[in-house]
């Protein structure tokens, strides 16, 4: 059998220290005949002296981007909705703080055909009492056109606004003021002037909520959570355009699971979030639903502390942003994960510093770049809105070009490459790679994005037992004093 592992000498232009510890310019340079490229993440922070976070980013028709989030840096108020307008170079051209003297939180926005922005979140400065759904319409410069609140005397929240396919806008969230008990999923249909056309609640006696909504084949598909016998179950709801509940797809596999969002792409619906394992730790989870075959499959992460908050579904890829724990510099990190449609891991860089960093939304731009928005905790425990731009033309590089001529039969037993002292074993569950006999002072393995997979600083061998080591290209750094490096190609 021909070996499926190949090693190439190549040049590392940055030291190992730079690769592992560059905080705000995440760079990795590789020189090779088929893969001369530069992967550089551009990182920006925005905000004042106290607290900011970003929840959603959109690309604007006139160019540049708009971000909605929350700010706590306005000393005259508690927290306000935070709206920023960025140019193509990610420079902030203007920002607005919207709200009253108490608490406002911003979650979602969209741009209408006239270049105005619709914003939604919640408030306890205005409305009928406690917290209420808060909706703004502002012009292209952020000036308020109208403002509306919705809800009852208890708590009411809004998490997502989209264009209604027939008229106006649809908002999803949850309400404690109406429904059957606890919290209930909440839908509001508004006209172009912000007047209420219809509202509906969904749920039982426990706590239920809607967190994200998309349109799919003349109905709404809604990511939410449903309480069943005291446990949270991530549930995908199907609702007609007139508000009738059509179906509930309840995830019963795990004791507690939590839905964060939904993405629709042709015949696929991806419902993503996380579940709690037996130790109570959060683990990444996507439910993939094929509407043509009516089949459901789960994509889950074996590593704890990783979960998705938003994603993109492309032709052959699933791109998610969320939180990672323990795979970066400390605390939680904003984590980008790329997988194929079967869930096999491709890349997973993390961004942030030693404190907690979070990823809440991801955008694929017209130029095929990836923008991720969230929050980053500073050393003084304040927080700033955090934005990362990743070059999409590099992210979607097809790895198969480098090994398309290879005999790509699956490996089912140990296959030594004696010349390079590399042994690989692959089963359907995991891949194990052994590096040894290099007479070096250390070995480290990076993926092509520069993310460290595993390292050994004191021995000359490295054993990696990693179920996520799928087909692709990896960088093997031998002897971290001289940074002699090789390229490892694994094909299925």
**The three-state (H, E, C) secondary structure of the chain, written as one string:** CCCCEEEEECEECCCHHHHHHCCCEEEEEEECCCCCEEEEEEEEEECCCCEEEEEEEEECCCCCEEEEEEECCCCCCCEEEEEEEECCCCCEEEEEEECCCCEEEEEEEEECCCCCEEEEEEECCCCCCCCEEEEEEECCCCCEEEEEEECCCCCEEEEEEEECCCCCEEEEEEECCCCCCCCEEEEEEECCCCCEEEEEEECCCCCEEEEEEEECCCEEEEEEEEEECCEEEEEEEEEECCCCEEEEEECCCCCCEEEEEEEEECCEEEEEEEEECCCCCEEEEEEEEECCCCEEEEEEEEEECEEEEEEEECCCCEEEEEEEECCCCCCEEEEEEEECCCCCEEECCEECCCCCEEEEEEEECCCCCEEEEEEEECCCCCEEEEEEEECHHHHCCCHHHHHCCCCCCCCCCCEEECCCCEEEEECCCCEEEEECCCCCCCEEEEECCCCEEEEECCCCCEEEEECCCCCEEEEEEECCCCCEEEEEEECC
Q: State the virtual CA torsion across 195, 200, 206, 209 in degrees, nearest 10.
A: -60
Token pair in block for residue 167: 């008229």
- Cβ-based burial of 230 (10 A; exposed 0-12, middle 13-18, buried ≥19): exposed
Judge whether 338 and 322 are in contact, CB under 8 Å: no
Q: What is the pLDDT of residue 269?
A: 92
Spell out the long-range contacts of 395-400 with Cβ–Cβ below 8 A and sequence spacing 24 or more.
395/319, 395/338, 395/347, 395/370, 396/314, 396/317, 396/368, 397/35, 397/37, 397/448, 399/346, 399/448, 399/471, 399/472, 399/473, 400/491
* 0.85 surpassed by pTM: no
Reported as a single tens digit per residue, the pLDDT across 329-369 is 567 889 888 887 877 777 777 888 888 999 999 998 888 78
Query: Which two tokens mark 244?
Result: 């009738």
| pLDDT computed for residue 91 by the predictor | 96
pLDDT for 491 equals 53
pLDDT at 19: 26
Question: In sequence order, which residues have a C-beta less than 8 Å from that of residue 4 and are 6 or more positions away?
Answer: 406, 407, 408, 409, 411, 415, 424, 490, 491, 492
In this prediction, residue 364 carries a pLDDT of: 86
Q: Is the Cβ–Cβ distance between 335 and 359 less than 8 Å?
A: yes
How high is the pLDDT of residue 327? 53
Instruction: Please identify every stretch of the chain with a pLDDT value under 50, giving residue numbers as ranges.
Output: 1-39, 396-421, 437-438, 440, 448-450, 460, 480-483, 492
């Amino acid at each position: 059998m021909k070996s499926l592992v190949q090693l190439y000498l190549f040049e590392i232009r940055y030291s190992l220290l730079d690769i592992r510890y560059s905080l705000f310019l995440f760079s990795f340079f590789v020189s090779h005949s088929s893969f001369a490229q530069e992967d550089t993440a551009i990182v920006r922070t925005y905000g004042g002296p106290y607290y900011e976070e970003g929840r959603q980013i959109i690309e604007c028709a006139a160019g540049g981007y708009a971000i909605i989030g929350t700010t706590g840096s306005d000393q005259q108020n508690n927290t306000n909705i935070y709206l920023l307008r960025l140019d193509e170079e990610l420079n902030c051209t203007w920002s607005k703080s919207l709200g009253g003297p108490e608490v406002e939180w911003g979650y979602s926005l969209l741009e209408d055909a006239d270049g105005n922005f619709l914003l939604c979140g919640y408030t306890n400065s205005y409305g009928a009492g406690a917290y209420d759904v808060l909706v703004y319409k502002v012009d292209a410069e952020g000036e308020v056109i109208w403002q509306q609140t919705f809800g009852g005397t208890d708590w009411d929240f809004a998490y997502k606004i989209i264009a209604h396919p027939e008229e106006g806008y649809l908002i999803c969230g949850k309400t404690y003021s109406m429904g059957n008990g606890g919290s209930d999923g909440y839908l509001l249909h508004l006209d172009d002037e912000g007047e209420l056309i219809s509202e509906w609640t969904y749920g039982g006696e426990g706590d239920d909520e809607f967190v994200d909504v998309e349109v799919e084949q003349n109905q709404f598909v809604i990511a939410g959570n449903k309480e069943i016998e005291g446990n949270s179950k991530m549930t995908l709801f199907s609702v007609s355009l007139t508000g009738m509940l059509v179906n509930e797809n309840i995830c019963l596999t795990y004791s507690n699971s939590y839905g964060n969002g939904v993405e629709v792409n042709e015949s696929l619906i991806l419902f993503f979030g996380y579940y709690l394992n037996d130790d109570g730790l959060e683990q990444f989870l996507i439910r993939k639903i094929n509407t043509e075959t009516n089949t459901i499959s789960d994509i889950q992460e074996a590593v704890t502390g990783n979960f998705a908050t938003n994603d993109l579904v492309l032709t052959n890829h699933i791109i998610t942003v969320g939180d990672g724990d323990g795979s970066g510099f400390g605390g939680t990190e904003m984590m980008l994960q790329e997988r194929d449609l079967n869930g096999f891991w491709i890349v997973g860089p993390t961004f942030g510093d030693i404190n907690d960093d979070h990823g809440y939304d991801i955008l694929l731009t017209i130029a095929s770049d990836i923008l991720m928005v969230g929050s980053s905790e500073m050393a003084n425990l304040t927080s700033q809105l955090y934005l990362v731009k990743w070059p999409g033309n590099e992210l979607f590089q097809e790895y198969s070009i480098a090994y398309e001529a290879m005999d790509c039969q699956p490996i089912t037993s140990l296959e030594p490459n004696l010349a390079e002292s590399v042994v690989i074993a692959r089963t359907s569950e995991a891949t194990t790679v052994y590096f040894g006999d290099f007479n070096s002072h250390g070995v480290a393995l990076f993926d092509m994005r520069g993310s460290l997979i595993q390292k050994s600083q004191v021995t000359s061998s490295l054993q990696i037992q990693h179920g996520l080591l799928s087909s692709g290209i990896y960088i093997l750094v031998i002897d971290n004093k001289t940074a002699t490096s090789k390229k490892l190609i694994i094909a299925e």
